[in-house]
């Protein structure tokens, strides 16, 4: 005899969809505070932090929120943000890549030498730099996965080794000036006002369409979905941010191509992580590698591909940095670049323990770190102060991540 509960005759599909939505208590302040403490509202936390940072620097220096300075800020974060996208992928596995800064400098040097010394076209030289980055990631990922060596050790060796190769590539002069328009134009091109507004509308449409499709799929699968009111607020905030950004840069030189490239890469990798089997496997391996292996996921292959992507994006970041500075030298990829590339995603809520976070954390984190650096530059603070402040912010982010993990464990959600 069947024990299945018959469906009520007056229960429609719309009724079931309504029941599937998140319950009303999720909109309460207490529930929102709980989710914020557990790290589920990382973007909101970053926005709050960013608002505080901007308020402090605006009071300290009235030039901070001017259109020229904010446009410079978007250019400053492009290279670091690009590298951070690859760092996010690695962090989602619960791993670390200490070589991304050195890889960016080496690949930029390769591009510069091929363009200036060998006379290669800009496109070919850039592609060669990306290929070098991909092979470095393949090498380091394979060494780690096949031999079981911790990625910390492998990439630390890469941090030292690739810097040596970079010095060898640059040669005795140590500096290569770049004048190829195809390279310098990556960061030196600004679009007209009308193009900027069109790009803004396209980005808003992509974000809204992606969010609505995700909600529809969750409802169709019988899962809880975000209430339309909350989704509308989130999309409205995103639209205001995009339109505000375009309005600011249009008040100066126009929408920078470098910013468009960074946002485009973030959108692509967000789609990869949330809409493809590969992306789901990345989260699964980062959440529990042994369980993923037992489920038939090729964990070694996933890890190797992620390190290839991280090094390729680091190479791309090096190309953007060279385009902005119009040169590559011995310090390219050095200084605090590695710290900033890792600190950004962590500050934006990407967990160091793996399996949690979004690729948008690369953009938001780069914005936070870039704002701090830019503000301190306006205040003419010493480098020692900059390093101490940035280190303190990174430590605070790690502490918040650890506390959020404890909260989830206490709630039985990890």
DSSP characters over 50-66: HHHHHHHHHHH-TTTTS
Q: Which residues contact 39 (CB under 8 A, 6 or more apart)?
A: 349, 351, 356, 400, 401, 404, 405, 407, 408
Sorted by where each begins, the domain ranges of the chain are 81-189+277-402
State residue 240's pLDDT score: 92
State residue 390's pLDDT score: 79
State residue 34's pLDDT score: 52
First to last CA, the chain: 39
pLDDT at 16 over 50: no
pLDDT at 43 over 80: no
Task: With beta carbons less than 8 A apart as the criterion, state whether 88 and 360 touch.
Answer: no
Distance CA 141, CA 36 (A): 34
Work out whether the CA dihedral 360, 362, 365, 371 comes out positive or negative.
negative
Which alpha helices (H) appear in 171-256, and where do they start and end?
181-188, 193-220, 228-250
Average predicted confidence (pLDDT) for the chain:
86
What's the whole-model pTM score?
A: 0.86
At 301, the pLDDT band (50, 70, 90 cuts) reads: very high
Q: pLDDT digits over 46-96, tens only? A: 888 888 999 999 999 999 999 999 999 999 999 999 999 999 999 999 999
pLDDT at 6 over 50: no
Q: pLDDT digits over 244-258, tens only? A: 999 999 999 999 999
Distance CA 75, CA 287 (A): 34
At 233, the pLDDT band (50, 70, 90 cuts) reads: confident
At 200, the pLDDT band (50, 70, 90 cuts) reads: very high
* Helix, strand, coil fractions of the chain, as percent rounded to 5: 75, 5, 20
């Amino acid at each position: 005899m069947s024990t299945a509960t018959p469906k009520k005759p007056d229960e429609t599909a719309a009724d079931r969809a309504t029941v599937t939505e998140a319950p009303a208590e999720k909109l309460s302040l207490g529930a929102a505070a709980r989710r914020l403490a557990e790290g589920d509202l990382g973007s909101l936390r970053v926005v709050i932090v960013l608002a505080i940072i901007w308020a402090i620097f605006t009071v300290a220096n009235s030039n901070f929120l001017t259109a020229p300075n904010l446009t410079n800020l978007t250019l400053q974060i492009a290279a670091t943000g690009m590298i951070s996208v690859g760092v996010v992928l690695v962090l989602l596995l619960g791993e670390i890549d200490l070589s991304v800064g050195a890889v960016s400098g080496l690949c930029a040097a390769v591009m510069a030498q091929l363009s200036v010394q060998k006379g290669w076209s800009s496109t070919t030289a850039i592609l060669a730099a990306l290929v070098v980055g991909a092979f470095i990631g393949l090498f380091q990922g394979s060494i780690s996965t096949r031999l079981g060596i911790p990625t910390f050790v492998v990439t630390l060796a890469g941090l030292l080794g690739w810097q040596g190769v970079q010095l060898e590539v640059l040669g005795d002069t140590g500096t290569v000036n770049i004048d190829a328009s195809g390279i310098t134009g990556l960061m030196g091109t600004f679009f007209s006002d009308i193009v900027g507004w069109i790009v803004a509308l396209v980005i808003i449409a992509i974000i809204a369409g992606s969010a609505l499709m995700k909600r529809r799929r969750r409802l169709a699968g019988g899962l809880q979905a975000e209430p339309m009111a909350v989704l509308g607020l989130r999309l409205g905030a995103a639209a205001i941010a995009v339109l505000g950004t375009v309005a600011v840069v249009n008040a100066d030189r126009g929408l920078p191509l470098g910013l468009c490239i960074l946002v485009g890469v973030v959108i692509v990798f967000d789609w990869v992580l949330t809409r493809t089997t590969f992306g789901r496997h990345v989260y699964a391996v980062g959440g529990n590698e042994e369980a993923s292996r037992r489920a038939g996921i090729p964990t070694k292959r996933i890890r190797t591909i992620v390190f290839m992507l991280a090094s390729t994006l680091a190479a791309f970041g090096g190309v953007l940095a060279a385009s902005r500075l119009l040169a590559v030298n011995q310090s390219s990829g050095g200084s605090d670049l590695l710290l900033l590339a890792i600190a950004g995603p962590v500050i934006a809520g990407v967990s160091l323990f793996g399996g949690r976070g979004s690729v948008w954390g690369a953009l938001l984190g780069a914005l936070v770190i870039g704002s701090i650096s830019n503000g301190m530059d306006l205040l003419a603070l010493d480098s020692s102060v900059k390093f101490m402040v940035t280190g303190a912010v990174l430590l605070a982010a790690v502490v918040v991540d650890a506390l959020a993990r404890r909260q989830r464990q206490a709630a039985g959600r990890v």
